[in-house]
Amino acid sequence: MSINKVMLIGHVGQIEIKAFDGQNGPRKCATFSFATTEGYRDRNGEIVNNTEWHNIVSWNHAELCGKYVQKGSQLYIEGKLRTRSWEDKDGNKRYVTEILAEKIELLGKRESQPSESKSQPQAPAQQPLDLPIKA
Protein backbone atom coordinates (compact mmCIF):
# COMPACT_ATOMS: atom_id res chain seq x y z
CA MET A 1 0.00 0.00 0.00
CA SER A 2 1.14 3.57 -0.63
CA ILE A 3 -0.18 7.08 -0.06
CA ASN A 4 0.12 10.10 -2.34
CA LYS A 5 -1.45 12.99 -0.40
CA VAL A 6 -0.67 16.71 -0.33
CA MET A 7 -2.28 19.34 1.94
CA LEU A 8 -1.49 23.02 1.41
CA ILE A 9 -2.62 26.40 2.68
CA GLY A 10 -1.44 29.38 0.69
CA HIS A 11 -2.28 32.03 -1.88
CA VAL A 12 -3.13 31.88 -5.58
CA GLY A 13 -0.78 33.42 -8.14
CA GLN A 14 -1.80 33.42 -11.79
CA ILE A 15 -4.97 31.46 -12.58
CA GLU A 16 -6.25 30.23 -15.93
CA ILE A 17 -9.45 28.39 -16.82
CA LYS A 18 -9.22 26.32 -20.01
CA ALA A 19 -12.04 24.65 -21.94
CA PHE A 20 -11.62 21.29 -23.67
CA ASP A 21 -13.82 19.06 -25.80
CA GLY A 22 -14.23 15.82 -23.85
CA GLN A 23 -15.85 12.49 -24.70
CA ASN A 24 -18.95 13.50 -22.72
CA GLY A 25 -19.06 17.09 -23.93
CA PRO A 26 -17.08 20.20 -23.06
CA ARG A 27 -14.96 20.20 -19.88
CA LYS A 28 -13.06 22.92 -18.05
CA CYS A 29 -9.76 22.77 -16.19
CA ALA A 30 -8.37 25.31 -13.73
CA THR A 31 -4.61 25.66 -13.54
CA PHE A 32 -2.87 28.08 -11.22
CA SER A 33 0.34 28.83 -9.41
CA PHE A 34 0.10 28.58 -5.63
CA ALA A 35 2.48 30.02 -3.02
CA THR A 36 3.15 28.59 0.43
CA THR A 37 5.42 30.49 2.80
CA GLU A 38 7.31 29.23 5.83
CA GLY A 39 9.20 31.42 8.24
CA TYR A 40 12.06 30.76 10.62
CA ARG A 41 14.58 32.74 12.66
CA ASP A 42 18.19 32.75 11.52
CA ARG A 43 21.23 32.81 13.84
CA ASN A 44 20.87 36.58 14.29
CA GLY A 45 17.23 36.26 15.31
CA GLU A 46 15.99 37.75 12.05
CA ILE A 47 12.85 36.25 10.53
CA VAL A 48 13.51 34.64 7.15
CA ASN A 49 10.58 33.71 4.88
CA ASN A 50 10.89 30.94 2.32
CA THR A 51 8.20 30.86 -0.38
CA GLU A 52 7.62 27.70 -2.41
CA TRP A 53 5.58 27.84 -5.65
CA HIS A 54 3.39 24.92 -6.69
CA ASN A 55 1.52 24.11 -9.93
CA ILE A 56 -2.14 23.25 -9.20
CA VAL A 57 -4.48 21.47 -11.65
CA SER A 58 -8.19 21.06 -10.92
CA TRP A 59 -10.69 19.43 -13.26
CA ASN A 60 -13.50 18.99 -10.73
CA HIS A 61 -13.49 22.56 -9.41
CA ALA A 62 -12.79 24.57 -12.57
CA GLU A 63 -16.23 26.17 -12.78
CA LEU A 64 -16.17 27.32 -9.15
CA CYS A 65 -12.54 28.41 -9.36
CA GLY A 66 -13.43 30.56 -12.35
CA LYS A 67 -16.21 32.18 -10.37
CA TYR A 68 -14.63 32.68 -6.92
CA VAL A 69 -10.85 32.23 -7.06
CA GLN A 70 -8.53 34.98 -8.20
CA LYS A 71 -4.97 36.13 -7.69
CA GLY A 72 -4.33 36.52 -3.97
CA SER A 73 -7.15 34.23 -2.80
CA GLN A 74 -6.21 32.15 0.23
CA LEU A 75 -7.07 28.47 -0.22
CA TYR A 76 -6.81 25.10 1.46
CA ILE A 77 -5.98 22.41 -1.11
CA GLU A 78 -5.88 18.64 -0.78
CA GLY A 79 -4.68 16.52 -3.64
CA LYS A 80 -1.95 14.27 -4.96
CA LEU A 81 1.38 14.76 -6.69
CA ARG A 82 1.63 13.98 -10.38
CA THR A 83 4.66 14.29 -12.65
CA ARG A 84 4.20 14.63 -16.40
CA SER A 85 6.78 14.61 -19.17
CA TRP A 86 6.78 15.81 -22.78
CA GLU A 87 9.20 16.76 -25.54
CA ASP A 88 9.72 20.45 -26.22
CA LYS A 89 10.08 21.94 -29.69
CA ASP A 90 13.84 21.20 -29.64
CA GLY A 91 13.29 17.52 -28.81
CA ASN A 92 14.38 17.84 -25.16
CA LYS A 93 12.47 15.82 -22.58
CA ARG A 94 10.80 18.17 -20.07
CA TYR A 95 9.15 17.37 -16.74
CA VAL A 96 6.68 19.16 -14.49
CA THR A 97 5.40 18.15 -11.07
CA GLU A 98 1.83 19.26 -10.33
CA ILE A 99 -0.69 18.88 -7.57
CA LEU A 100 -3.92 17.38 -8.84
CA ALA A 101 -6.47 19.07 -6.55
CA GLU A 102 -9.18 16.82 -5.14
CA LYS A 103 -10.51 19.32 -2.59
CA ILE A 104 -10.37 23.13 -2.58
CA GLU A 105 -11.72 25.42 0.15
CA LEU A 106 -11.74 29.20 0.27
CA LEU A 107 -10.24 30.37 3.56
CA GLY A 108 -10.79 34.09 3.60
CA LYS A 109 -11.43 37.24 1.70
CA ARG A 110 -8.71 38.58 -0.50
CA GLU A 111 -7.48 42.15 -0.06
CA SER A 112 -8.97 44.24 -2.90
CA GLN A 113 -6.57 45.99 -5.22
CA PRO A 114 -7.51 49.58 -6.16
CA SER A 115 -7.31 48.84 -9.89
CA GLU A 116 -9.65 45.86 -9.72
CA SER A 117 -13.40 46.00 -10.08
CA LYS A 118 -15.29 45.74 -6.81
CA SER A 119 -18.20 44.06 -8.60
CA GLN A 120 -16.46 40.69 -8.83
CA PRO A 121 -18.19 38.06 -6.68
CA GLN A 122 -16.56 36.96 -3.44
CA ALA A 123 -17.49 33.64 -1.90
CA PRO A 124 -18.20 33.59 1.82
CA ALA A 125 -15.25 32.57 3.99
CA GLN A 126 -14.89 28.83 4.56
CA GLN A 127 -17.04 27.98 1.51
CA PRO A 128 -16.05 24.45 0.50
CA LEU A 129 -15.54 23.90 -3.20
CA ASP A 130 -15.12 20.15 -2.89
CA LEU A 131 -17.25 18.02 -5.16
CA PRO A 132 -17.38 14.26 -5.59
CA ILE A 133 -14.28 13.07 -7.41
CA LYS A 134 -14.95 11.29 -10.70
CA ALA A 135 -12.64 8.37 -11.32
Q: What are the pLDDT digits (tens) for 19-78?
A: 888 777 788 999 999 999 999 999 999 999 999 999 999 998 998 899 999 999 999 999
Contact call for residues 33 and 50 (beta carbons, < 8 A): no
pLDDT interval class at 109 (50, 70, 90)? low
C-alpha span between 67 and 61 (Å, rounded): 10
Average of per-residue pLDDT values in the chain: 83
C-alpha span between 59 and 129 (Å, rounded): 12
Report how far apart, in Å, the C-alpha atoms of 22 and of each of 9, 29, 64 are: 31, 11, 19
C-alpha span between 73 and 95 (Å, rounded): 27
pTM summary value: 0.72
Q: What is the mean pLDDT of residues 4-17?
A: 95
Q: Give which of 95, 102, 96 is closest to 129, Cα–Cα.
A: 102
